Amino acid sequence: MLSQFSFSNFRSYKTDTTFDFQAEAIPEFEESLITDEKTTPLLPVSAIYGPNGGGKTNLLRALSCLISTVVKPIYDLDKNRNNLVIQDVIESEPFLFDSESSKNPTEFEVYFRTEGKEYRYYIAIKDSEIVSEYLYWRALGGKRTGTVFTREGSNIELGPAIKKNGINRQVNPKMPYLSFLAINYDLEPIVPVQRWFESCISHSYDDPELDRRIMMIDDSETKKLIIRALNDLGIDISDYRYIKEEKKFYTERIINGEKYSLSFDAESDGTKKLLSTLPMLIVALKEGRLVIIDELDSKLHPKLLRYIISLFKNKELNRNGAQLLFTSHDMTTMRNTVFRRDEIWFAATDMKHESQIYSLYDIRNADDSHINNKSAYDKQYLEGRYGADPYLENMLNGGSFV
C-alpha cells in the first residue's frame, strides 16, 4: 500500500513535491479507510483535478517512472515474481524551463507498506545513470529503522539484513541496485519490495488504442465478478470470449431465452472502456494492488465513474488494501458524497511554468479554517475558490480569448 510519494525535477515539476495517501484526522468516510491498529490509516482512493497542462498527468508519470525504472530490468530478464505485470514504461525527464535543472538529477522517494513492514526507497537519476539510491525498512508501528542498502555513485554499502559474503556490489550504473538484487538473489528484505513494485498497475487512456486492449482472465471466479460488475452498471452481458482463429473478441447477451453474440467493435465506447478497465480493477481489488490511471473518466458516464470509485471505498469488496489514483476532468464526482477532502487533489502551474499539487484539505479559508465538508466542492472549484484555472477565470470575468 502506498503511503507517500515525493519527487523533484521531473517534467513540469521542478521543486520537491509530495503526494500523500495517509489519511487526515477528519470524519468523512472513516469506514472506507485502509486501517492498521499499529499505524496511520491510508486512503483507498485519490483523484487529481486541474486544467490541461497543469501537471495532473506528469504527477502520475512521475510515480509510474519510478515503478518502471525498478521493474523493467527485472521484467526484461524474465525474473519477475508476479505473473501479471501491467505497467506503462516511462522515461525520466528533468524540468526544462530553466538553465540549471537539466544539469541536476531527477529524484524519487516512496514510502509503502507490505507484509507487515514499511519501506522507504529513494533513487536519483541523471542522464539515465543512478546517482544515489537507498532502501530502508521498519516494522509497522515500530520506531527503529533498518538499512537494507545505500548507494552513492559506484559506492554501495550493505545493511545487516543482506550483509553476506557473495553479494556483488558491482552493478551497471544505469541499473537500480534494487533491481540488480531482485534479479540475482533470493533475499528476504528484497523479495517483498520486488513484489510490491511489480504489483503496481499503471495505465493511461491518453492513447485511444488502449480502449481496445482487453486483459483475458482464465479464472472463472474473476470472470464472474467482471460480468456481475457490468450487469450492476446496466450492461446486460452474460458472457464474453476470445476466438483465437478469428483474433476477435465477442460479448454475449441472452434475449428472450436466445443467446446473441456481438463483436467487440460493435460495442459502445463506454462499454469498450469498461471491458478494458474492469479486469484490471477486479484483479487489483482481489490482490490489494495500487492502480494508477490517467484519464479514467474518458468515455465513461459519471455514474460509471462513481461506481468504480465505490468499489475501492467498499471495505467488503476491498479487503486487501487496494488503492486507486487517477486524473479526472469530471466535476460531477467532485462531491462530498463521493470523496473525503483529503482524497481530492489539484495540480496547476504557476507563472514560471512549474507545476504544484495540493489537496482540498490543504486549502484554507480567509479565517484560516479548512473547507467545510458540507460545501459544494464542484461549485466552489468552478468559481475559482480552490486556485483559479486561468482560462476559466478569464471566462467568468468576461474576458476574451481573441
The whole-angstrom separation of Cα 193 and Cα 198 is 9
Give me the phi and psi of 308, to 5 degrees please: -60, -45
In the chain, the domains with their CATH numbers are 2-200+290-396 (3.40.50), 209-275 (no CATH)
Q: Give the largest CA-CA distance in the chain.
A: 72
Are 203 and 86 in contact by the 8 Å Cβ rule? The answer is yes
The whole-angstrom separation of Cα 334 and Cα 371 is 14
β-pair partners for 190: none
The whole-angstrom separation of Cα 230 and Cα 228 is 5
Q: Which residues of the chain have pLDDT under 70?
A: 205-218, 388-402
* Per-residue pLDDT at 214: 67
* Per-residue pLDDT at 272: 83
* Per-residue pLDDT at 215: 66
Q: Which residues contact 105 (CB under 8 A, 6 or more apart)?
A: 9, 94, 124, 125, 126, 131, 132
Give me the phi and psi of 132, to 5 degrees please: -155, 150
The whole-angstrom separation of Cα 71 and Cα 195 is 10
Q: How far is CA 252 from the centre of its chain?
A: 32
Phi-psi region of 104 (alpha: psi -120 to 50; beta: other; left: phi over 0): beta
Run of H or E including 300: none
In the three-class reduction of DSSP (H, G, I as helix; E, B as strand; rest coil), residue 37 is classed as: coil
121-168: pLDDT as tens digits? 999 999 999 999 999 999 999 989 999 999 999 999 999 989 887 899
The whole-angstrom separation of Cα 122 and Cα 112 is 12
> HEC string of 331-344?
HHHCCCCCCCHHHE
* Per-residue pLDDT at 138: 96
* Per-residue pLDDT at 396: 40
193-204: pLDDT as tens digits? 999 999 999 988
DSSP 398: T
Task: Dig out the grid coordinates for 270 from the structure.
Answer: 463506454
173-183: pLDDT as tens digits? 999 999 999 99
In the three-class reduction of DSSP (H, G, I as helix; E, B as strand; rest coil), residue 241 is classed as: strand
Are 62 and 48 in contact by the 8 Å Cβ rule? The answer is no
